[in-house]
Amino acid sequence: MRKLTNDELNRKSIKEFKSSGKAPFIIVLDNVRSLNNIGSIFRTADAFIVEAIWLCGITATPPHREIHKTALGATESVEWRYFENSANAVKELKRSGYSVISLEQTDESVPLDHFIPESGKRYALVFGHEIKGVSEEVVALSDLSVEIPQYGTKHSFNVAVSAGIVLWELAGRRKG
């Protein structure tokens, strides 16, 4: 066994990425404060070829040195938009036919392993603030709340880790 070289990985160019078919997901960051988390989510969005990331509220926007440090250029490949207000972004997504899913622990949350994306449907996946989670207003506007099952003493994941888990699961279920 040997590691593959960068040339053997057959990575897409930014032009090829932009013209590729996209996974039917838009990531919405609802007041995410950590620039490193934002950059990491851009990188994950690139890996799963999501449609876009919508940055809302206090969520910082590219270009920014701290975002770039973890995004490693994904801010150039992944489309993004900024909204002052997360609720306005969610309302626009709903008007555009997206089903809005808040990744949050609520009294009606569906465990991630029980949620199967419907073929032909587009989804907006809302990830929230590192301490406060998804805002109550956005949860109320959402079509569904999904949570990642957890079995230890902690009751939350880092937001960038959550995005990675959710996109891995949903991408795999779409293919399977």
Q: Which residue's structure tokens are 């009606």?
A: 108
More confident residue, 168 or 172: 168
**Helix, strand, coil shares, percent, the chain, to 5:** 40, 20, 40
Q: What is the reported pLDDT for 57? A: 98
Query: Average pLDDT in the 29-34 region?
Result: 98
Calculate what percentage of the chain has a pLDDT beyond 70: 98
Question: Measured between alpha carbons, how far is 124 from 54 in angstroms, rounded to an integer?
Answer: 9
Q: Tens of pLDDT along 84-108?
A: 999 999 999 999 999 999 999 999 9
- Phi and psi based region of residue 144 (left: phi greater than 0; alpha: psi -120 to 50; beta: remaining): beta
Confidence (pLDDT) at 7 = 87
Q: Mean pLDDT score of the chain, rounded to an integer?
A: 95
pLDDT of residue 3: 95
pLDDT value at residue 176: 46
Top CATH class of 19-148+156-175 equals alpha beta
How far from 102 is each of 38, 75, 176, CA to CA, in Å?
17, 23, 23
Q: What does the alpha-carbon distance between residue 21 and residue 174 come to, in Å, rounded to a whole number?
A: 14
Question: pLDDT tens across 64-84, in order?
Answer: 999 999 999 999 999 999 999
Would you give the distance in Å from CA 167 to the centre of its chain?
Answer: 7
159-175 and 35-47 helices cross at what angle (nearest 10)?
A: 10
Print burial letters for 97-110: b (CB count within 10 Å at least 16), e (below 16): ebbbbbbbebeebe
Helix or strand or coil: residue 172? helix
Distance CA 127, CA 59 (A): 11
